[in-house]
Structure 1
Amino acid sequence: MRARTTIGLAIASVTALTLSACSDAGKGGATTAAGDDISIVATTTPLGSVVEQIATCAGGTASTLMPVNADPHQFSASSAQVADMVKADLVVANGLGLEGGLDASLQQVAADGTEVFPVAEHVDPLPWGADDHGDHEGHDEHADHDEHEGHGENDGHEGHAHGEFDPHFWLDASRMATAAQTIGDKVADLTGNEKWATCGAEISDELTALDDEIRDALADIPEERRVIVTDHQAYGYFNKAYDFHSAGVVIPGGSTEAQPSSQELAGLADVIRAENVPVIFTNAAVNQRLVDALAAEVGGEVKVVSLYEGSVGPKDGPAADYQGMMRENARLISEALA
């Protein structure tokens, strides 16, 4: 009788161990603690570029959910992509409401036990409209254009449906440097492998140097020409970091999903004429029909220049990674305004 009891306990123990191992395998494997085979998925391509650089340095791997030229506001995941995130050990998300089309999927992933790490919350995020330089020298004389509702970076459409804080932090390279260190530290805590923290620090240093490089590239733009109009409210961090001023946005709010009225476009055209804005900057990854219509409304010599806002560029181009994306944006802005 005692022998049968002992055998039964042994079988129960083996079964429990087997189930535990299967459970661990479904979440990326039991090697996660060693940090060798950790599975990381980043949502956006700018984040994915930086996460992959850290992973390469640390001897690991990472993947990016969104393809090149995806709009992070509108992208939605397939069922297979949701399954990939559920299987991952960590999902690195932008957060602060940026991934509107992914909200339900990310909630499902978190409910299924995979940690979702919203990086933007850890980089000292700015409230909407923090770049509003109403006292910007040389532009006070245009304060009477405030009646053109729906165009300023700090207007009634300022994106509060997405939360209190602006999620577009990656357009400030110094904040992406902070993000790199934060991600490295996070994975080191998760795996117990301090090389991830070391590699996060290395990539952070590279991005700090990139920030200085961008400042140098933009240095020749005179103060009176540091007034920009953009396709949507994505440049708060850029303006704050690199000393620019927003005269308005084509699509009201912090997302690309809204639609301006014809009255709003006409009002913004008046502002562009009054402030002698020479360029409208738009997103290379989205349809620029509205921006072209605005440029036609303004008339004259106003140009439309496409920048890399929410996505890196194709692999064979100058903006193939995050660093290239930011360098190319600085070059395009400098050429357009200097």
Structure 2
Amino acid sequence: MVTVNGKDRREGAAARPRISARARAALGSGAVLMVALVPAACGEAGQGHGSSRPTIVATTTILGDVAGRVAECGGLEVSTLIPRGADPHDYAPSSADVRDMVEADLVIANGLGLEEGLASALQSARDDGAVVLEVAPLLEPRPLGSGEHADTAEADADGGDDDGDAALDPHVWLDVSRMADAAEIIGAELAASTGDDGLVRCGEQVAAELISTDGEVRDVLASIPAGSRVLVTDHDAFGYFAQAYGFEVIGVVVPGGSTLAEPSSEELATLADVVRTAGVGAIFANSAHRTVLIEALSAEVGDVDVVELYVGSLGAEGSGAEDYAGMMLTDAQLIARALEG
């Protein structure tokens, strides 16, 4: 376990602590499962089921990008399970995916129920001896729901149980500062797994870069007038974004935090009334899971645009959302253009 000291992350990249307060609390809680992959007497990296380097798998493209940047700094590689453009809520793993997780030394997952279709495969990986690092429970998860009472909640030290997870919002990556903390946590986990303390510094380096991205996102969104900083989205994914960047989510098309639920006709009619009353100019859809319900709401309301955002997955080459930082900046630009009036 790495012991570090630091101050609050919001002092900026120049004054950034070696590990932020949130990441330090997560590491100190014992919630991160740190298991050496090789005997302590060996100074080399983990063996990865017979290989000379540890095998590291990330579930989502977003985690794959952030973890990959940390790992690359230390000469390691990360493979990503869920392909670009796929919705992590409903992704069903292939037999090859299950094999990759079971054979991995470290699996980096979001957790809090995001990867619904991977739950049994993740458990199989644990049972087979892989370390599964669930990142979202370590980033001060908030209750699911975007209202004013959805304040920060603390997860259990072990990442939360099934009942608790169901009530916590898994969409932590839509606050860039939380992903900066995730980079530090991943770096510390990789350092503990391999015995290479340089990976702690790699995590800090990527975190500092993401804090800079967070500032850029804020600059882009600053053009939106206070009265226009309201969001209507396809599902309840933007609670962290709203909290971090000064927005209010006034309605969601699909209830709950998953794209798999279905609203009633009464709920859709009520939402249409809310959108008309608020004078909302845009409804934001998930590019990975745009549904007919979004089109139905848009048609019901009338003069309102449907703007697709990158929510649960990075975009294809040429989209501007090829990596996590680009994804968040592209989304910020799309939101600003739609709402700045």
- Which secondary structure state, in structure 1, belongs to the residue aligned with residue 253 of structure 2? strand
Q: Return the alpha-carbon distance in structure 1 between the equivalents of residues 164 and 108 of structure 2.
A: 22
Q: Return the alpha-carbon distance in structure 2 between the equivalents of residues 247 and 266 of structure 1.
A: 14
Greater shift in the superposed pair: 205-214 or 280-289: 280-289
Partner of 2:313: 311
The number of aligned residues is 283
8 Å CA contact 1:93–1:117 kept in 2: the answer is yes
- Which secondary structure state, in structure 2, belongs to the residue aligned with residue 63 of structure 1? strand
Letter matched to residue 133 of structure 1:
E
Q: CA deviation at 1:220?
A: 1.1
Q: Return the alpha-carbon distance in structure 2 between the equivalents of residues 72 and 103 of structure 1.
A: 11
Structure 1 segments unaligned to the other structure (5+ residues): 1-23, 32-36, 135-159
Matched, 1:178 2:193: no
Superimposed CA distance per residue, residues 148-193 of structure 1 (whole angstroms, 9 cap, x where no aligned partner): xxxxxxxxxxxx7952311100000000000000000001011110
Q: CA deviation at 1:29?
A: 2.7
Q: CA deviation at 1:109?
A: 1.1
Letter matched to residue 122 of structure 1:
L
Q: Return the alpha-carbon distance in structure 1 between the equivalents of residues 260 and 130 of structure 2.
A: 29
Partner of 2:91: 75
8 Å CA contact 2:87–2:312 kept in 1: the answer is yes
- Pairing of 1:233-272 with structure 2 (within 5 A): 233-272=236-275
Among candidates 227, 232, 237, match of residue 235 of structure 2 = 232
Among candidates 312, 315, 336, match of residue 334 of structure 1 = 336
- Pairing of 1:137-156 with structure 2 (within 5 A): none
8 Å CA contact 2:92–2:117 kept in 1: the answer is yes
Letter matched to residue 331 of structure 1:
Q
Partner of 2:60: 44
TM-score (norm 1): 0.81
Q: Return the alpha-carbon distance in structure 1 between the equivalents of residues 188 and 319 of structure 2.
A: 31
Letter matched to residue 269 of structure 1:
A
Q: Return the alpha-carbon distance in structure 1 between the equivalents of residues 51 and 83 of structure 2.
A: 29
Q: 1:259 to 1:161 in 2, by over 3 A?
A: farther
Q: CA deviation at 1:280?
A: 0.3
Letter matched to residue 59 of structure 1:
G
Superimposed CA distance per residue, residues 56-87 of structure 1 (whole angstroms, 9 cap, x where no aligned partner): 11111110000001111111111111111111
Root-mean-square deviation (Å): 1.7
Q: Return the alpha-carbon distance in structure 1 between the equivalents of residues 66 and 121 of structure 2.
A: 23
Q: Return the alpha-carbon distance in structure 1 between the equivalents of residues 305 and 165 of structure 2.
A: 30
Letter matched to residue 333 of structure 2:
R
- Pairing of 1:1-338 with structure 2 (within 5 A): 27-29=48-50, 31=52, 37-129=53-145, 131-133=146-148, 163-299=166-302, 301-338=303-340
Q: CA deviation at 1:115?
A: 1.1
4+ runs deviating over 4 angstroms:
none
- Which secondary structure state, in structure 2, belongs to the residue aligned with residue 92 of structure 1? strand
Partner of 1:20: none
Q: Return the alpha-carbon distance in structure 2 between the equivalents of residues 86 and 47 of structure 1.
A: 18
Higher helix share: 1
8 Å CA contact 2:101–2:121 kept in 1: the answer is no
Letter matched to residue 29 of structure 1:
G
Q: CA deviation at 1:89?
A: 0.8
8 Å CA contact 1:98–1:162 kept in 2: the answer is no
8 Å CA contact 2:102–2:121 kept in 1: the answer is no
- Which secondary structure state, in structure 1, belongs to the residue aligned with residue 182 of structure 2? helix
- Which secondary structure state, in structure 1, belongs to the residue aligned with residue 57 of structure 2? strand
8 Å CA contact 2:144–2:256 kept in 1: the answer is no
